[in-house]
Amino acid sequence: MRNRRMGATTLDPSFSLQISKEQQHHQHRVHVIEEIEGLIRVYKDGHVERPQIVPSVTCALAQDQGVISTDIIIDKCTNIWARFYLPKYHEKHPLLVYFHGGGFCVGSASWSCYHEFLAKLASKANCAIMSVNYRLAPENPLPAAYDDGIKALFWVKQQVLSATNEWFTNKCNLSSIFLAGDSAGANIAYNIATRLGSSPGGAFDSSGTLGPLSFKGLILIQPFFGGESRTYSEKYMVQPPRSALNLEASDTYWRLSLPAGASRDHPWCNPLAKGAPKFEDIRLLPTMVCVSEMDVLKDRNLEVCAALVSAGKKVEHVVYKGVGHAFQILNKSQISLTRTDELIYQIKNFIS
């Protein structure tokens, strides 16, 4: 019986190289360097994962809501877009330019919770809303979100000057524009306002750099500020297990969003820090600050309010009892629904 020789099997060198690269990629991918459970995971190789914890929805709205909505691209190159909400009433409405929250790292203008809240706000407060979808960190650290916000404002100006978009020419009162946002979105609105207020010649009046747009106010809902020194509420405010924001998550968001090497006393994070622009030197719009009693940010929000008032700025604040961070979008309890109605009522009064 003759022995049969098995043919030699040779492995394509490129295949071996491919396996090696996949193994190395896997080794990097399993090395998580930053994580907020359920929201964001950042790997050593720079890959970022954002689990779909909140569903994204289209701009469709039920007929009985009395609001129409549409999505419009602002900048194709950077994929900045906005979702618009407009009451169906035949009159011109104040315009809120709104920025969503999410620690600069997560969130979207298409998230169902924002879609529901802003449609309700537009209907109940009788205002038009432009909800800006800006670039997220860590892929795009600050000041990317601020730059995107300012780009959105100049886009509105261009729409008005070209008179090609009836939403602005026929539906919006361009002499009554407000910057607004919640959490990180409130930080964006604030930093845009201070940047524009510090620019030569000003930008808020119809004769300024954003003319013919005229800005009347700033609405900060649970503004996301921080600092190296802890406030009392940051140290001792006990948060429920599924809280929208705790101190650990707050610190992670700041590490991911601030420029490399910056501390939480960077002026974008801490407007009261040494080296931050003095409030006395900033032209700031009349401001409404909405503070949640059970929020880790409560004391820092109140400190900023007090400092602005001391600097002679026109600031009013409201503390919402018994609710925590982002209650108006993430909590459906009866007390949160009641406080959300109060919030909308107070925003309506502020913009009227």
Closest C-alpha among 76, 55, 122 to residue 95: 122
Mean pLDDT on 3-30? 45
Q: Does residue 245 belong to any structural domain of this protein? A: yes
Q: Please report whether residue 17 resides in a domain.
A: no
pLDDT score recorded for residue 11: 40
Whole-number Å distance between alpha carbons of 26 and 38: 21
Calculate the CA 318 to chain-centre distance. 20
- The answer as to whether 30 is a domain residue is no
Residues 6+ apart with CB under 8 A from 311: 278, 279, 280
Residue 340's φ and ψ, nearest 5 degrees, are: -65, -40
Q: What is the pLDDT of residue 200?
A: 66
Mean pLDDT score across all residues of the chain: 90
- The model's confidence at residue 10, banded by pLDDT at 50, 70 and 90, is very low
* 183 labelled catalytic: yes
CATH number at residue 118: 3.40.50.1820
| 296 phi/psi in degrees, rounded to 5 | -60, -20
Least confident range of 7-11, 80-84, 85-89, 175-179: 7-11
Q: Is residue 184 included in any domain, yes or no?
A: yes
257 lies in some domain: yes
Q: How many domains does the chain have?
A: 1
Contacts of 87 (CB under 8 A, 6+ apart): 66, 67, 93, 122, 123, 126, 127, 128
Q: Which residue has the tokens 């860590």?
A: 138
User: Is the pLDDT assigned to residue 159 strictly greater than 80?
Assistant: yes
In a domain, 35, yes or no: no
14 located within any domain: no
Sign of the CA dihedral running 334, 338, 341, 346: negative
pLDDT of residue 29: 60
pLDDT tens track for 262-305: 999 999 999 999 999 999 999 999 999 999 999 999 999 999 99
CB 114 within 8 A of CB 80: no
pTM for this entry: 0.91
**Structural domain boundaries enclosing 70:** 53-351
Confidence of residue 4 (pLDDT cuts 50, 70, 90): very low
Say which of 176, 183, 233, 257 is annotated catalytic. 183
